[in-house]
């Protein structure tokens, strides 16, 4: 069995660059206040050693996970076969990637899945959630909200009371239908 070499540490980068651990941390995290020459030495040491920041350690400090859950209240056969969902997931993934975030896909088919998703979100694994394909009287939005995770719903939840504390993205289907009928009636 081949043993892998230990991952380079922040301390190893600091030693190679001839700077303090704090300086390496500031450069790696994109903070300001490090002279250009020192920052360049740190970046060179990072590259030479192949240093990759420890995401778990970073999350403990920042309380950010760089991950967003996409919750779809549909069976996996529909999510992966329906071009609508594929298009949504591609767009979401592209935007998350541009912001150095990961997509965590959570699918629900029934109440037992709802409970699992609620526990996962409440466990602090993600920084936010996008919830799609809700159904009338769906318990999922309540579970997501009680998890305390910032959430955007795809479609207006049926329990939105208009106070403005529910964030959602929706199409104006009634307005679109009205415009279509008015256009056709005017021909």
List phi, psi (to 5°) of 69.
-85, 135
What separation in angstroms does the CA of 69 have from each of 16, 118, 173? Answer: 38, 11, 26
Confidence of residue 181 (pLDDT cuts 50, 70, 90): very high
Tell me, what's the pLDDT at 28?
Answer: 83
Helices of type H across the chain: 10-17, 21-28, 36-49, 55-62, 76-81, 83-98, 111-122, 140-146, 173-185
Which superfamily does CATH assign the domain made up of 67-175 to?
A: Response regulator (3.40.50.2300)
The pLDDT of residue 56: 65
Q: CA-CA distance, 10 to 187, in Å (whole number)? A: 70
pLDDT tens for 77-111 read 888 888 988 899 999 999 999 998 999 999 988 77
- Selection from 80, 89, 161 nearest residue 132 by Cα: 89
Mean pLDDT of 8-32: 86
Distance set, CA 41 to CA 22, 51, 53, 95, 123 (Å): 14, 13, 17, 32, 39
pLDDT for the residue numbered 65: 72
72 within 8 A of 133, measured Cβ to Cβ: yes
Check pLDDT > 90 for residue 26.
Answer: no
In the prediction, which pLDDT does 43 show? Answer: 92
Judged against a pLDDT cut of 90, whether residue 120 lies above it is answered with yes
* Mean confidence (pLDDT) of the chain: 84
pLDDT in the model for residue 128: 92
Identical fold between 10-53 and 67-175: no
Mean pLDDT within 118-133: 90
CATH topology of domain 10-53: 434 Repressor (Amino-terminal Domain) (1.10.260)
**CA 149 from chain center: how many Å?**
11
The rounded Cα 16 to chain-centroid distance in angstroms is: 34
**pLDDT of res. 161:** 63
Whether the predicted pLDDT of 1 surpasses 60: no
User: Would you tell me how many other CB atoms lie within 10 Å of the CB of residue 52?
Assistant: 10
pLDDT tier at 62, thresholds 50, 70, 90:
low
* 52, 90 contact by CB (below 8 A): no
Q: What is the pLDDT of residue 164?
A: 67
Q: Where are the domains of the chain?
A: 10-53, 67-175
For 156-171, give the DSSP string.
--TT--SSS---EE--
The predicted model gives 139-145 an average pLDDT of: 82
pLDDT, tens digit (0-9, with 9 covering 90-100), for 152-168: 988 776 666 666 677 77
pLDDT for 160: 62
Phi, psi torsion values for 132, nearest 5 degrees: -120, 160
């Amino acid at each position: 069995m081949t043993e892998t070499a230990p991952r380079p540490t922040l301390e190893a980068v600091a030693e190679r660059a001839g700077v303090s651990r704090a300086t390496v941390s500031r450069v790696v995290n994109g903070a300001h206040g490090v002279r250009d020459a020192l920052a360049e030495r740190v970046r060179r040491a990072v590259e030479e050693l192949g240093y990759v920041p420890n995401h778990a350690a970073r999350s403990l400090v920042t309380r950010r996970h760089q991950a967003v859950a996409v919750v779809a209240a549909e069976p996996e056969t529909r999510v992966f076969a329906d071009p609508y969902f594929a298009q949504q997931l591609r767009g979401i993934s592209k935007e998350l990637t541009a912001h150095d975030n990961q997509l965590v896909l959570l699918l629900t088919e029934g109440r037992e899945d709802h409970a699992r998703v609620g526990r996962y979100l409440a466990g602090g694994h993600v920084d936010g959630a996008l919830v799609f394909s809700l159904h009338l009287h769906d318990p999922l939005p309540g579970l997501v909200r009680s998890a305390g995770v910032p959430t955007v719903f795809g479609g207006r939840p049926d329990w939105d009371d208009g106070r403005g504390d529910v964030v959602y993205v929706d199409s104006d289907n009634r307005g679109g239908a009205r415009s279509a009928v008015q256009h056709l009636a005017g021909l």
